[in-house]
């Protein structure tokens, strides 16, 4: 349903995208995760036909985003990360304005808009002015706006940004409900565990490149052989940090909550050897093992903070 083939985008001297290739099947929910400036918004705005790629090809529903933008726009609902709202319109009028601009006739608008307001839990705000709504409500109204023409594909750029935990959960539940209606969804977020729960596939993007993509389990597998060791000891922590930083199979050594965490690329036997050597050096170790990589750890391991 969504395809990008070696897409690049250059803004002046900045290469915002350096060759992104990805496919999203119909009915899938795909999560883009990446640090600030990674290129998520740029990729989404290319798919939404608002930005032309410098090279490569982007298609939605088989239509080329550059050659057939009207066909693409009919198929997609785009919720940008920042969107203006009109101060002197009510929630109903706001949606009516967008529905009309999509060419929906009056009777259709009268049918659809209350449904959209209900979907995003804003029925009670139907006649309230948009600028009086809370941030979470405005985000939900923005989502409703992207849905008024019943698009098959949704492109949601950080729909939960700036929301409190309850509003995030509400937004997540709405996105899941939309997934259950069979829509294909591309969503970006910094909220990694939420994406893991919602998405079929996660793409980790950094400095304009897709550095890993697959199911959460795939990405985890990709990271095997790059396990995280967690060591707890009674003293000599600073000394251990220096010691580990000099070991070639170890990277990213940090002290965290009374533990030492280190990336390790060695084999099981080498891991056993490392423990034996640390004990032989007299380090007072009380726990030594691998930590379960959650999505947050995996993300931090894969991305090194380039370009953020």
Ligand X SMILES: Nc1ncnc2c1ncn2[C@@H]1O[C@H](COP(=O)(O)OP(=O)(O)OP(=O)(O)O)[C@@H](O)[C@H]1O
Give the residue with the Cβ less far from ligand X, 33 or 95. Answer: 33
Nearer to ligand X, 18 or 102 (CB): 18
99 vs 210 by CB, closer to ligand X: 210
Least distance from C-beta 70 to ligand X, angstroms? 23
**Residues of span 11-40 touching ligand X by CB under 6 A:** 11, 14, 16, 34, 36-40
Compose the 57-76 pattern: x for residues touching ligand X by CB under 6 A, - for all others.
Answer: --------------------
> Shortest distance, CB of residue 106 to ligand X, whole angstroms?
37
Q: Is 60 exposed, middle or buried (0-12, 13-18, 19+ CB in 10 A)?
A: buried
Shortest CB 34 distance to ligand X, Å: 5
Nearest residue (CB) to ligand X, 195 versus 278: 195
Contact flags string 93-112 toward ligand X, x per CB under 6 A: --------------------
> 39 to 58, contacts with ligand X by CB under 6 A?
39-42
User: Nearest approach, Cβ of 24 to ligand X (angstroms)?
Assistant: 17
Q: Which is nearer to ligand X, 42 or 303 (CB)?
A: 42
Nearer to ligand X, 205 or 253 (CB): 205
Residue 121 Cβ, how far from ligand X at the closest point, in Å? Answer: 26
User: CB 15 → ligand X: shortest distance, Å?
Assistant: 8
Shorter beta-carbon distance to ligand X: residue 14 or 294 = 14
DSSP letters, the chain, are -EEEEEEEEEETTEEEEEEEEEEE-TT-EEEEE--TTSSHHHHHHHHTTSS--SEEEEEETTEETTT-HHHHHHHEEEE-SS----TT-BHHHHHHHHHHHTT--HHHHHHHHHHHHHHTT-GGGTTSBGGGS-HHHHHHHHHHHHHTT--SEEEEESTTTT--HHHHHHHHHHHHHHHHTT-EEEEEES-HHHHHHH-SEEEEEETTEEEEEE-HHHHHHHTTTSEEEEEEESS-HHHHHHHHHT-TTEEEEEEETTEEEEEE-S-HHHHHHHHHHHHHTT--EEEEEEPP--HHHHHHHH---TT-
Total residues contacting ligand X (rule CB under 6 A)? Answer: 12
Judged by the rule CB under 6 A, the positions of this chain that interact with ligand X are 11, 14, 16, 34, 36-42, 81
């Amino acid at each position: 349903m969504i395809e990008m083939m070696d897409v690049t985008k250059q803004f002046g001297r900045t290469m915002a995208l350096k060759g992104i290739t990805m496919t999203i099947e119909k009915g899938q929910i795909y999560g883009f995760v990446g640090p600030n400036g990674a290129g998520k918004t740029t990729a989404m705005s290319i798919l939404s036909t608002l930005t032309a790629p410098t090279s490569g090809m982007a298609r939605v529903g088989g239509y080329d985003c550059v050659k057939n933008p009207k066909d693409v726009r009919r198929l997609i609902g785009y919720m940008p990360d920042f969107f203006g709202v009109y101060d002197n319109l009510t929630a109903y009028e706001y949606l009516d304005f967008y529905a009309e601009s999509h060419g929906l006739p009056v009777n259709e608008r009268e049918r659809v808009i209350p449904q959209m307001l209900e979907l995003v839990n804003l029925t009670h705000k139907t006649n309230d002015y948009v600028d009086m709504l809370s941030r979470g409500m405005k985000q939900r109204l923005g989502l409703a706006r992207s849905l008024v023409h019943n698009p098959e594909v949704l492109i949601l750029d950080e729909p939960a940004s700036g929301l409190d935990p309850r509003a995030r959960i509400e937004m997540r539940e709405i996105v899941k409900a939309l997934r259950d209606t069979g829509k294909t969804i591309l969503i970006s977020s910094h909220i990694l565990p939420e994406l893991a729960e919602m998405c079929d596939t996660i793409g980790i993007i950094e400095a304009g490149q897709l550095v890993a993509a697959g199911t959460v389990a795939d990405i985890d597998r990709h990271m095997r052989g790059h396990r995280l060791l967690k060591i707890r000891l009674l003293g000599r922590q600073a000394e251990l940090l220096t010691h580990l930083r000099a070991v070639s199979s170890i990277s990213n050594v940090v002290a965290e909550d009374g533990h030492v965490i280190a990336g390790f690329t060695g084999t099981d036997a080498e891991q056993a050897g490392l423990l034996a050597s640390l004990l032989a050096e007299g380090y007072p170790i009380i726990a030594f093992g691998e930590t379960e990589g959650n999505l947050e750890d995996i993300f931090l391991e894969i991305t090194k903070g380039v370009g953020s």
